[in-house]
Amino acid sequence: MKTKLIILVFLGFIVSNAQTISLNGKWKFKASNTLSESELLQSDFSNWDTMQVPGNWDTHEKYATYVGKGYYQKDFRVPQKWQGKQIRVQFEAVYETAMVWVNGKLLGKHVGGYLPFEFNIAPFLKLGESNSIIVMADNSYKRGAWWAWGGISREVWLVATEDLRFVYQHIASIPDFEKGEINFSIKYKVENNGTNSATAQILPKIKGIDVAPVSVKINRNATAIAEIKFKRKLADFKFWHFDSPNLYQLTSELQVEGKKVDVTEDNFGIRKFEVRGEQFYLNNQAVRMNGVNRVHDHPKYGNTEPDGLIKKDMKDIQSLGCTFSRLMHAPLSKNLLDYCDKNGFLLVEEIPVWGDDDPQSFPNNPVTKKWMADMIERDFNHPSVVAWSVGNELRDAVADWDEKALTKDQYDYVNEMLDYVASLDTTRLKTYVTITSYRKGEIGTEPYEKVDFISMNSYGNAPVLAQKTHEKFPGKPIFVSEIGLSQIGNEPNSELRKELVTYIKELKQFPWISGVSLWSYNDYRSNYKGTPTSGYREWGIVDAFRKKKKKAYVQLKALYKEWEE
């Protein structure tokens, strides 16, 4: 039996001893598609509107349908004690294209609306005095049927560090059940912003476990990689599982000549996820896991997701019997990932490459490679993330629906990106979400060989379409990553169509179906074709405000309970 093994010990988002100042709160705001850079820098910001950061401008009635460039400005002070520090401004996410100025100096541009980026601003600051930061956010770029919420949608920080700092630490572990041990590997990336090369010591510590330090030399204005490998007894650890999401803690300290210059402290979990034949296995047990997709959308919050909303939604989703989903077609928010780590929900993460006209779906695309690399670097340490997806529902734009297949560029894109994912992370599964496998997709025109499991969306007769896919592409699990049949509706008595209920029940009978995921948990704002006059796609089992659970909610809970019996 051919086995694809996925084993990992994970860390959460890196937390260091760096000094931080939050730039969240009230910013000045102006919407304009005609403002020149010189006009921008000479603006009287006191005449601008006020906008909350993090947030989205389209949650405000005045800018509810505005598309284009929005400018944010804020004055801030940097303490004198930060003299000699490396000072960066860090953005968790800005949708979708961003440009940043500090004290009139253009720092650079970032493309991609769901991932973090930063700039070193130390050379341009006035310590102890007032400084000005301007951010341009442009939401013109749109993918999919979800709303392209504009603005600085996640947190903003000023961070001060020494010349040497941790960029990331990635943790992997490979349990060997026959030998009863875990093979640990901790990989560090260290950056040196100083004018001289330096040799540093990295001292990792896991409570109750001695781990040998490692030395690393970093040239000036460069980065270096260090890695530590060690074995420990399997019996001394508890696994991370959706029924028991056990987390441990690792602390790593960076020292130069005995002086601490940076430290990270993170939770991590140990779990083994793999494909054996046509089934998923989690920690050596066969699992079939169902889910529901969740759109990062709320009329009040846009795609800025406060902790309370995340907790409420995910607890509700889990109460339905859901444990596994590709929740959304874009990198997920950090607080959502943290919730899933702590509460045992498995995730597939995906970059936003979607549909028949996606301009990014061509091979060797530096944009999509950066998106994937940034997502994997940020999220590598989350035990909840078990697979990466390189795109959703790519297909020929011209052919009739029954004749849909991937274009050559799309096929080459998926094939090449799957290789790229493997080069970045060998510890997780790889997939691509298809709607062409059961149409004109064939071996050679569908990326069958390189995916570890098939993700298939269905808005028709799902059992028939799944059987067609299985017959053409045998030997791998099939996850029905989206299932639906017309919009549910917005009334309390809105329900799943009888045919859809039958389809979900029938899919349970196929041993190679690893689970299904209903589209979607919530109604969401949209201007995509077919959207009702309400302005919301009413596919959800709850309404957009999460105030109303529809009859479809009760139906889905009963269906998933049947799967468990």
pLDDT, tens digit, for every residue of 473-496?
999 999 999 999 999 999 999 999
pLDDT > 90: percent of the chain? 91
pLDDT band of 207, cuts 50, 70, 90: confident
Specify the amino acid at residue 14.
Answer: I
Quick one: average pLDDT of 325-347?
A: 97
Q: Are 89 and 72 in contact (CB under 8 A)?
A: no
Please tell me if the domain spanning 3-16+163-271 has the same topology as the one spanning 288-564: no
Cα(88)–Cα(419) distance, integer angstroms: 33
- Looking up tokens 């960076």 gives 254
Cα(295)–Cα(542) distance, integer angstroms: 12
Give SS3 for 469. Answer: helix
Answer whether residue 13 shows pLDDT above 80.
no
pLDDT band of 3, cuts 50, 70, 90: very low
Looking at residue 191, its pLDDT comes to 98
Quick one: average pLDDT of 439-460?
A: 95
Tell me the residue length of the chain: 565
Report how far apart, in Å, the C-alpha atoms of 225 and of each of 198, 219, 248, 440 are: 13, 12, 24, 45
Cα(22)–Cα(159) distance, integer angstroms: 9
Looking at residue 16, its pLDDT comes to 46
252-289 pLDDT, tens digit per residue, is 999 999 999 999 888 888 999 999 999 999 999 999 99
Cα(516)–Cα(455) distance, integer angstroms: 10
pLDDT band of 4, cuts 50, 70, 90: very low
Q: Are 390 and 417 in contact (CB under 8 A)?
A: yes
CA nearest to 93, candidates 108, 77, 113: 113
Cα(447)–Cα(397) distance, integer angstroms: 18
- If you write DSSP's letter for every residue of 324-376 in order, what string do you get? EE---SSPPPHHHHHHHHHHT-EEEEE-S-BSTT-TT-STT-HHHHHHHHHHH
Quick one: average pLDDT of 510-527?
A: 98
C-alpha Rg value of the chain to the nearest Å: 24
Structure tokens of 211?
């781990």
DSSP code for 401: G
Quick one: average pLDDT of 60-67?
A: 98
What average pLDDT is seen over the chain? 94
Specify the amino acid at residue 99.
Answer: M
Of 8-17, 23-32, 160-169, the range with the lowest mean pLDDT is: 8-17
As assigned by CATH, the class of the 288-564 domain is alpha beta
Quick one: average pLDDT of 386-413?
A: 96
Dihedral sign of CA atoms 43, 49, 52, 56 in order: negative
Dihedral sign of CA atoms 375, 378, 384, 387 in order: positive
Looking at residue 322, its pLDDT comes to 98
Strand-pair category, 117-120 with 270-276: unpaired
- Looking up tokens 């592409």 gives 473
Q: Are 204 and 229 in contact (CB under 8 A)?
A: no
pLDDT band of 78, cuts 50, 70, 90: very high
Residue boundaries of the structural domains of the chain = 3-16+163-271, 25-154, 288-564
What does CATH list as the number for 3-16+163-271?
2.60.40.10
- Residue ranges of E strands in 257-292: 259-268, 270-276, 279-282, 285-287, 291-292
Answer whether residue 38 shows pLDDT above 80.
yes
Looking at residue 32, its pLDDT comes to 98
- If you write DSSP's letter for every residue of 119-165 in order, what string do you get? EE-GGG--TTSEEEEEEEEE-----SSS----B--S-EEEEEE-SEE
Report how far apart, in Å, the C-alpha atoms of 270 and of each of 273, 277, 287, 387, 421 are: 10, 23, 17, 15, 21
Contacts 24+ apart (CB under 8 A), 498-501: 499/461, 501/555, 501/559
Looking at residue 178, its pLDDT comes to 87
Report how far apart, in Å, the C-alpha atoms of 91 and of each of 21, 308, 365 are: 12, 21, 24
Torsion angle defined by CA atoms of residues 98, 100, 106 and 112, in that order, rounded to the nearest 10 degrees: -30
Quick one: average pLDDT of 408-433?
A: 97
**25-154, what's its fold?**
Jelly Rolls (2.60.120)
Cα(165)–Cα(86) distance, integer angstroms: 10
Quick one: average pLDDT of 27-55?
A: 97
DSSP code for 207: T
Q: Are 193 and 163 in contact (CB under 8 A)?
A: yes
Phi then psi for 38, rounded to 5 degrees? -65, -40
Cα(353)–Cα(151) distance, integer angstroms: 20
Q: Order of strands across the sheet with 285-287?
A: 3-9, 270-276, 279-282, 285-287
Report how far apart, in Å, the C-alpha atoms of 490 and of each of 291, 320, 495, 529 are: 21, 20, 10, 18
Looking at residue 357, its pLDDT comes to 86
Report how far apart, in Å, the C-alpha atoms of 248 and of each of 263, 265, 273, 376, 565 are: 17, 11, 18, 21, 32
Quick one: average pLDDT of 394-413?
A: 95
Element (H, E) at 52: strand 49-53
Q: Are 268 and 171 in contact (CB under 8 A)?
A: yes
Element (H, E) at 388: strand 385-392
Quick one: average pLDDT of 6-15?
A: 37
Cα(65)–Cα(31) distance, integer angstroms: 12
Answer whether residue 6 shows pLDDT above 60.
no
Q: Are 487 and 475 in contact (CB under 8 A)?
A: no
Phi then psi for 178, rounded to 5 degrees? -70, -40
Looking at residue 15, its pLDDT comes to 39
pLDDT > 70: percent of the chain? 97
How many CA atoms within 13 Å lie on the side-chain side of 211?
Answer: 24
